[in-house]
Chains A and B, each alone.
With several copies, the nearest count.
Chain A
Amino acid sequence: MSLPSSIRCQFPALQQEVNGRPLVYLDSAATSQKPQRVIDAVSNFYETSCANVNRGAYELGRRSTNLYEGARTLLQEFIGAEHSEEIIFTKGCTEAINLAANSWSAEYLEYEDVILVSEMEHHANIVPWQMAAERHGARVIPIPVTFDCEIDLDQFESLLREEPVKMVAVKHICNATGTINPIEQIATMAKEAGSAVMIDGAQGLAHQRVSVKDLPIDFYAMASHKAYGPMGIGALYGKREVLRELPPYQGGGDMIRAVSFEDTTYRKPPGRFEAGTQNPADAAGFAEALRFISEVGVEALHQHETEIRIAAEKMLQDAGADIVGSPKEKAGIISFVLPRIHPHDFSTFSDQLGAAIRTGHHCCMPLMSSLGLPGTARVSLAAYNSIEDLNVLIEAIESARRIFA
């Protein structure tokens, strides 16, 4: 592998046994494990700097504000944003998309407008748009996905031509199939048709380098916990000119300029969109996770995951599994089905051997029904995996086959 196996030692959760077998964690697309340094960054915040941010009249408040704003600047640089005020912290990727769907729609979405959402989207990038469409009388139309599990660009093009499209919402990397979507091309096509663009970057952050300032997109949504960071924090990137025009999302402390019963006014972005007590504890952990990723290198991570993925796909196929989808560009995610063995049954076999995989619809019900599948078993890879991890899965397939064949 291209990454040293010592990386695994940095992850305390991976040093344990489960059901009498060493834990093999193959569900990083759900949430990644956290290196010790990230866990320590969070504890360390509570042990030394615990105070609310932006109220820096005392030393602890200044420390927490510096950690919080430092995390914002780090994330800005990490994703190549031009201004730190383009980074809004949220509690996760889902909230980031809801925020955008809500505030953007309030400003721009009108009766009968069209929102194009790819058929492979995660529910987090479908349901908020359905809700916004319902509020404003607009329509959500799916962009079909090919049998290879790629977005059908021809059909996308004709949808763009025919409809007055106001928003195109597409994921960067598909959590169910590993497809890396050509977001630059999709965004360029959308912009030419006059549409805004939301990229769901939940699976992108730790796996593909982005430079959002060079992409013709309006929003990029992210989650810390899928990128070696703590739970409870995520972020929305929004282009400065776009954010400036949008009304707030949640109301409360920290997002206001002045409150009165006659007239309440709001701060400029990003403050306007960050109501309530901020979360500097998890921001500090998120920042540490970004440092971890930068030190290992996003490209090295992708190469490491790709090497394992390619070997794993072969092993799985040799063991009789059908791999779902064959996109040209693919991240370290493999969905597969086993003839005559329901994924849910299979997961009990792998669990018995200490392997954590995900089975089901992966929050992509429309994709599953378009593929005609009740669900799949999914392996998703990260820095700490090695090809040996896959041996356990093959063992589980054999043991399940003994019962179901």
Chain B
Amino acid sequence: MLQELYQEVILDHSKSPRNSGVIDEPSHQAEGFNPFCGDQVKVMLIVDEGLIQEIRFSGQGCAISQASASMMTQAVKGHTVAEARDIFKTFHKAVTEDDEPDIDVLNELASLCGVKAYPSRIKCATLAWHAMEEALENHA
């Protein structure tokens, strides 16, 4: 049954994460820490006129947290800040609540819903997202 948690698309993102690396002069950035396992992720963005022009992440973590960060960058890039927040809301619901996930919004991200069955892994799936949210509140 762990095949359901570790779907192909997740393994693919965790092995070859998209948008990984650093942005030299981000307009927004924040770090996320999971003090219990030591996972850590840094999310950097360039936001211009409310639009996420560029987003990258760096850091270490398990397959779930890396894949989630990678998919997140793809999901929010080119969207407005408000849209990005909405996507996080939908995603957060999908990995914590029992309702059917909203596939139209989530696309690939829906593959992470498997963590629901592994409560201690939910934090892995949301780590980068919380960092993004914090980054959008702060400035660089």
Contact = CB atoms under 8 A, between A and B. Distances in A.
A binds B: yes
Interface of A: 54-57, 61-62, 254, 256-258, 267, 271, 342-345, 348-349, 352, 359-361, 365, 368, 374-375, 399, 403-404
B113 to A, nearest CB: 15
Contacts of A342: 61-63
A56 B118 CA distance: 10
Contacts of B64: 344-345
A365 B33 CA distance: 12
A257 B36 contact: no
30 contacts: A56-B119, A57-B37, A57-B120, A61-B120, A62-B120, A254-B35, A258-B40, A271-B35, A342-B61, A343-B62, A344-B64, A344-B121, A345-B6, A345-B64, A348-B5, A348-B118, A348-B121, A352-B1, A352-B2, A359-B37, A360-B36, A361-B38, A365-B38, A368-B38, A374-B38, A374-B61, A399-B2, A403-B2, A403-B3, A403-B6
Interface string B67-92: 00000000000000000000000000
Contact size class for B?
A: 20 to 34
B75 to A, nearest CB: 22
A360 B65 CA distance: 14
B11 A361 contact: no
A280 to B, nearest CB: 15
Contacts of A368: 38
Q: Is the interface of B mostly helix, strand, loop or mixed?
A: mixed
Contacts of B121: 344, 348
Interface string B1-15: 111011000010000
A345 B61 CA distance: 9
A258 B35 contact: yes
Contacts of A256: 35
B35 A257 contact: yes
B120 A56 contact: yes
Contacts of A55: 36
A360 B37 contact: yes
A54 B37 CA distance: 10
Contacts of B62: 342-345
A134 B1 CA distance: 51
Which of B6, B36, B61 neighbours the largest number of chain A CB atoms within 10 Å of its CB?
B36
Which of A256, A374, A404 neighbours the largest number of chain B CB atoms within 10 Å of its CB?
A374
A403 B37 contact: no
A403 B11 contact: yes
Contacts of B119: 56, 62
